[in-house]
Amino acid sequence: MSEEPAATTFPTTTTWSIHRYNGSEVLPEEDTVAIEAPLTIQLDGEEFATLVYTPSDTIDLVTGFLASEGLIRFIDQIESLTLEEDRGFAHVKLRQLHQLSRQLVSKRFIGSCCGKSRQFYFHNDMRTAKTVTTKLQLTIPQCFHLMNELQEQSAEFRLTGGLHNAALCTVNKLLLTRADIGRHNALDKIYGHILRHRLSVRDKVLAFSGRISSEVALKAAKMGVGILLSKSAPTDLALRLAEDLGITVVGFIRRDHLTVYTHPERIVECR
């Protein structure tokens, strides 16, 4: 990307006057709520998509969203990215926009690959989601540690109860955290940072606060991350995709319990 926009800081929470019932009486209080803002992405001068997001890490979000949609795979494919965050716009110019990629965004498709029952909702997923072959391994105590670290760093969630959190991790610590009202946005912010800073993810783990849907599994595959941790549950399509794409899914990581759903060979105690 030849032009890096200047980062601008906007508030992500605000206060609201409420009346709270505490079990015996109603009291007036000030509550903290998450800010929700629209962001329209203009692609080569035309409106492409409007996201609703938490106004933070906007450059990462736009970059990751374009990658998730299959329009880019490398940061160098973005010629320029200009933000008008106060007006809710991001202006993107790509070095080369393949018309096929743009036409296939959001077009539904179900197919198979390599003789397996790999199912995709969208054409561009078929083009950009790749099988992960990392040999990284994680212990069960490390799973608990990373999820606990994610929760401890989720200050805005504790204040509002309205944000999802995601983190890129090594086996021992969190390297990068992102938060958003949308769980997919939180992951796209991680993805965008990976691309912008050209990070290697072969030895990295994704920790996530939300449900593991098929789209979440696909984002992990597009990033190239082979282990996905969550305190919540997966869906059946997410597990089928994860099994086929080589992703280890560990869900319901809470207190002293967890469930390994796919590719247990990467969890040391399951070998």
Q: What is the pLDDT of residues 199-210, one digit of tens each?
A: 999 999 999 999
The matching CATH number, chosen from 3.30.413.10, 3.40.140.10, 3.30.70.20, 3.40.50.620, for 131-270 is: 3.40.140.10
CA distance linking residue 249 with residue 122, whole number of Å: 22
CB atoms within 10 A of CB 251: 22
Instruction: Please identify which of the residues 114, 143, 169, 270 carries the catalytic annotation.
Output: 114
Q: pLDDT tens for residues 34-54?
A: 999 999 999 999 999 999 999
Using a 10 angstrom Cβ sphere, with 0-12 exposed, 13-18 middle and 19 or more buried, the burial of residue 86 is exposed
pLDDT range class, residue 61, cuts 50, 70, 90: very high
Residue range 93-106: average pLDDT?
66
More confident residue, 116 or 31: 31
Mean pLDDT of the region 165-170:
97
- Domain positions in the chain: 131-270
Q: 0.85 cut: is pTM over it?
A: yes
In the residue annotation, 114 being an active-site residue is answered as: yes
The β-bridge relationship of strands 164-169 and 174-180 is antiparallel
> Encoding tokens for residue 105?
């965004």
Condensed to tens digits (0 to 9), the pLDDT of residues 215-269 reads 999 999 999 999 999 999 999 999 999 999 999 999 999 989 999 999 999 999 9
